[in-house]
Chain A
Amino acid sequence: MRKDIWMPKLSLKHLLAIRWFHWINFPILFLMIWSGMLIYWAYPVYHLGPISLFPQWLFELLGLKFRLAEGMALHFVFMWIFAINGLLYVAYTVFSGEWKYLVPTSTSAFRDAWHVFLHDLHLREEIPPQEKYNAAQQIAYTGIVVMGLGSLVTGLAIYKPVQLSWLTALCGGYEFARLMHFALTMGYIGFFVIHVGQVILAGWNNFRSMVIGWELVKHND
């Protein structure tokens, strides 16, 4: 393509497999969090300072009370889809080479991410040079996969503390593994809020590309 002529184009931004992994993960993760809350209700001990996670009125409001058995029967079924989908996603990004866009490789990734953050807050004009994803996205999209692995490992540690007692010990014991499993879930909720916010800000063209794969590129970059 000649660089001197301004030409809009369609670019295949998200590969079909990646789109499937993403859209399968979305409802499954929701279901895992939902069923996790049904389970957590039976022993909701965590606090953030004086704030209870979660107060009884919230369980009441969401209708999550007295549904432990139902929660377990969902959690231990859909865990398979969550785990298999996640592992296939990672395997796919490795074998297709897509990981190169996703994993922060630059040594200045954290500084770049900070600059992206300042840019997003309109505190900084220029944005660091980037390929498909900026450094903040790379850290977020790699971090979320590491968190997923963390959920898998801490989940197994509290699921089978006898048969996998070595893993439970590795996770800092039964209670600590449960706390981490919970904290990771809070992390997903935080990720979700920011992610959806950013998707809304990025606009329709970007969102559409996560569904159909193709993005309309109007700038010659």
Chain B
Amino acid sequence: MINRHPEIVLPEADLERDLQKKSRRGFLLGGLAAVGAFGAYKAVRLSRQDNDVPWPQRNVLDLNGKLWHSYLDHAHTMPTYSASEIGFLKANGDHGLDEEPDDQGNPPAWDGFRLEGPGISPITLQLSDVQSLPRREMITKFCCIEGWSVVQQWTGVRFSDFTKKFLPPGASLTDYVYMATDGEDYFVGLDTKSAMHPQTLLAWEQNGKPLTYEHGAPLRLIIPVKYGIKNLKRVGLIRYTNQKPRDFWHEQGYDWFAGL
């Protein structure tokens, strides 16, 4: 066996000299490595920003997203819970929800949502168009990117059922889906695999009651394979696209994929 811990025995003066030489060399190299590492770190932190993140870091985040996207399978599901575990979900985000209620305090009117995509002649769909599809209920955890989570019940239709119905026959599925509120004050970009996940719903009921305006009435996206930021409220536009879509929080420095 190799002796990995050799010893040097010399007269004391030679030993001191040898030790001094080794120290000089060791601390010089160590110092250079430390300065180099700090410089590299600073260079990364000061490099050009890509959507509010230094581009080398953004590249790694995108790579992380690609890895988890390629691993994603529709058999990966958010666990489901019992009704007794339902908690209180605070209405955390109100981007795109800045319309005033009417005189009676009712949520402002909603004129349906537009559907766009290659091979689709743009149409406006109503809640009834969505509700004609098989109704699904699930009790899942809603995970906020801030770190908290709460169990909620959702009622809606699978986005995959919706897509099957409204994508024209023969049209192939695009790589991405883009969804936005009317006027596109809030918008999310989704990979199609996550959008077509069996737990991804277009929902109109929360805990057995119609959605309130602050939670995205009358129709919102519920996508448990993503953080809450991707769960668009008050759908105003759905667009199938092959170009990686914009995403509101991605532009504020968050991960585009934001998968769970």
Contacts and interface: CB of A to CB of B under 8 A. Distances in A.
B78 A212 contact: no
Interface in A183-221: 208, 211-214, 216-217
B83 interface: no
A9 B9 contact: yes
A4 B62 CA distance: 65
Given A10-B7, A72-B255, A162 B260 contact: yes
Contacts of B72: 163
B27 A73 contact: no
Nearest to B60: A77
B224 A162 contact: yes
B8 A39 contact: no
A118 interface: no
A127 B58 CA distance: 52
A165 B77 contact: yes
A211 B30 contact: yes
Nearest to A213: B26
What is the predominant secondary structure among interface residues of chain B facing chain A? mixed
B147 A69 contact: no
Interface residues of B, number: 54
Interface string A50-67: 000000000000000000
Interface in B48-65: 52-54, 56-58, 60-61, 64
Contacts of A76: 60-61, 64, 255
B68 A160 contact: yes
B148 interface: yes
A217 B146 CA distance: 53
A55 B96 CA distance: 33
Nearest to A20: B33
A163 B22 contact: no
Contacts of A165: 76-79
Nearest to A44: B147
Contacts of A174: 141, 143, 149
Interface stretch (A11-19, A136-144, A146-154): A11-19
B259 A162 contact: yes
Contact of B147 (A43, A70, A96, A214): A43
A68 interface: yes
B225 interface: yes
A82 interface: no
A59 B48 CA distance: 27
A162 B77 contact: yes
Interface string A143-180: 00000000000000000111101000100001100100
6 contacts: A11-B8, A43-B147, A69-B252, A73-B53, A80-B60, A212-B23
Q: What are the 6 A-B residue pairs with the smallest beta carbon separation, nearest first?
A: A212-B26, A43-B147, A69-B253, A42-B146, A10-B8, A162-B260
Given A1-B9, A39-B147, 18 more contacts: A9-B8, A10-B19, A11-B7, A11-B8, A15-B5, A43-B147, A68-B146, A70-B253, A73-B255, A77-B57, A161-B260, A162-B224, A163-B68, A165-B79, A169-B79, A208-B23, A212-B23, A212-B30
Interface of A: 1, 7-13, 15, 23, 27, 39-40, 42-43, 45, 68-70, 72-74, 76-77, 80, 96-98, 160-163, 165, 169, 174-175, 178, 208, 211-214, 216-217
